A and B are shown apart, each in its own frame.
Chain A
Amino acid sequence: MKIPVIKKLVETYSLEELQAAEEALAEEQQPTIEIGGDDEGEQLTHAFAAIWIKEKVDAGEDFKVALRAYTSMVRGSIS
């Protein structure tokens, strides 16, 4: 999981575009937007993250706060 990739996605694309990309990747299809990542799994992880954070940002939360909450959630499930 690469934070700069997630940040770029949140800043560049709308929630709808990110959701469409997530759906395409989950169906093992090529998304219409560019999503960085070493493989399809990491790309999908980036799409999940961007959507999660974008929803918080669109609701008025600061990006850094939302990102911190997201990374904390991820760390909490692998430690």
Chain B
Amino acid sequence: MAVIDANDSNFQELLSQNDKVVVKYFAGWCGSCRLFKPKFKRLSGDERFEGIAFLDVNAEESPEARALAGVNNLPFFAIFKDGKLVEGGPMSKEDAVVELIEKLK
């Protein structure tokens, strides 16, 4: 599945349309976010995570989506199930992100 660009306008709608969601919050000033971009794209196509929606949210432009996950540093990853936040945290290591996404299975 491709990574979907999300923002305050469509975030809630995407959460309601998808049972399992992982969100990457990023910003233009964040180097680790930039370096994680191709990894997140690759993970979105990983068959282990079939049925999970991968969202990209620009934290600078989406304060409401940011607040829903309690973003306090970037890059920040959060998982949502049935529209509710399960867990989230700032992380830049792929292993930690995979471990987080596994919790949606």
Task: Decide: B74 and A40 in contact? CB cutoff 8 A.
Answer: no
Q: Name which residue of chain A comes closest to B33, CB basis.
A: A41
Task: Decide: B31 and A48 in contact? CB cutoff 8 A.
Answer: yes
Chain B positions within 8 Å of A48 at CB level: 28-31
Whether A78 touches B71, Cβ cut-off 8 Å, given contacts A26-B34, A28-B35, A40-B35, is yes
Task: Decide: A43 and B31 in contact? CB cutoff 8 A.
Answer: yes
Q: What is the minimal beta-carbon distance from A67 to any residue of chain B, in angstroms? A: 13
Interface residues of A in 23-39 (CB under 8 A from B): 25-26, 28, 39
Any A CB within 8 A of the CB of B43: no
Q: What is the minimal beta-carbon distance from B26 to any residue of chain A, in angstroms? A: 9
Task: Decide: B29 and A52 in contact? CB cutoff 8 A.
Answer: yes
The answer for the CA separation of A76 and B59 in the assembled complex, in Å, is 9
Any A CB within 8 A of the CB of B73: yes
Q: How large is the interface on B (under 10, 10 to 19, 20 to 34, 35 or more residues)?
A: 10 to 19
Q: What is the minimal beta-carbon distance from B39 to any residue of chain A, in angstroms? A: 11
Task: Decide: A42 and B35 in contact? CB cutoff 8 A.
Answer: no
Can you list, as one digit per residue, whether each of B49-92 has a CB less than 8 Å from chain A (1) or not (0)? Answer: 00000000001100000100001111010000000000000001
21 A-B interface contacts by CB (under 8 A): A25-B31, A26-B35, A41-B30, A41-B32, A41-B33, A41-B36, A41-B92, A44-B32, A44-B34, A44-B35, A45-B30, A48-B28, A48-B30, A48-B31, A49-B29, A70-B29, A77-B29, A77-B59, A77-B66, A78-B73, A78-B76
CB-based closest 3 A-B pairs: A44-B31, A41-B32, A45-B31
